[in-house]
Chains A and B, each alone.
Chain A
Amino acid sequence: MNWSEFFAMGGYGLYVWGSYGMAALVLAFNVLAARRREKNVRRELAAATHLNQAEPE
């Protein structure tokens, strides 16, 4: 397996790896955004519960 040839992609390296890189970014972004959303919601909920619990009976 000639690695330098592999990375060069017959001169089209920029375009091929640019595309695969962009794909990786899009996939990563989607996962991270979904995770972030869940984290934010949980944080909001915890804060609300806290406030409820903090109220004196």
Chain B
Amino acid sequence: MLFHKYASPKVFYALAGRLIPWFAVATLILLGYGLYQGLFVAPPDYQQGESVRIMFIHVPAAWMSMFVYMVMASAGAIGLIWNMRLADMAATASAPIGASFTLLALVTGSLWGKPMWGTWWAWDARLTSELLLFFLYLGFMALQAAIDEPRRAARAGALLALVGVVNIPVIHFSVQWWNTLHQPASISAINKIGTPAIHPSLLVPLLIMAVAFTLFFATVLLMRLRAEILHRERHTGWVAELVKP
């Protein structure tokens, strides 16, 4: 299977090294274009004015927080089932990136909410779900940090991530319900603002930023994987050759 060739750390190290520059350049181009579209081309919103531009950071960040968790859980599952160390490394490396996107979503959510709702924090369904997702990331990272033995750490993390994946829809649904339950009518109007009807002019920068963030994630993941491979394979000949001054 073609797959197996790239599962070899040595081969993947070289491949990643060739891919990183391309991904990095693509990221920069799309980030630039996305910022241009978001800050200059997209018109201000009828209701929210210029603050709607925060959406071009907040929504892609929230999407990434979910996407990276899926990647983390999938990589963990692959590592667990097929005993692939590279997959284990990918799961571990993805976690801090995903956690930082979740934090970004939370902070920008708060900054977007303040002018709209008047408070720095509101327990609306999306922000509350994001917060719980943040805790799930932190739990994964804490569990792996607490286990010294690499194989146990990888497998325990993978199991936790999979349990998390099963629970995320349940948590989402529960928080939705909880939110509609407790909100007086004035705040349910806020929830509508939180999920604006996306006009086409707003959709373009949103999607570009989402792709840019995804490419960014791929770039950083490849960088981290190279470092992890060097570390894991430190006793092999090819690594010794590599680090010779």
Contacts and interface: CB of A to CB of B under 8 A. Distances in A.
Interface of A: 6, 9-12, 14-16, 18-20, 22-23, 26-27, 29-31, 33-35, 37-38, 41-42, 44-46, 48-49
Contacts of A45: 230, 234, 239, 243
A16 B100 contact: no
Interface of B is mostly: helix
B69 interface: no
A9 B228 CA distance: 43
B134 to A, nearest CB: 13
Contact of A27 (B111, B216, B239): B216
Contacts of A46: 243, 245
A10 B44 contact: yes
Contact of A49 (B96, B216, B224, B240): B240
A15 B227 contact: no
A16 to B, nearest CB: 5
Interface stretch (B46-54, B70-78, B154-162, B173-181): B46-54
B57 interface: yes
The 7 closest A-B pairs by CB, nearest first: A10-B50, A9-B50, A34-B223, A38-B227, A12-B51, A19-B108, A37-B227
A16 B51 contact: yes
A33 B239 CA distance: 22
B151 interface: no
A19 B58 contact: yes
A12 B115 contact: yes
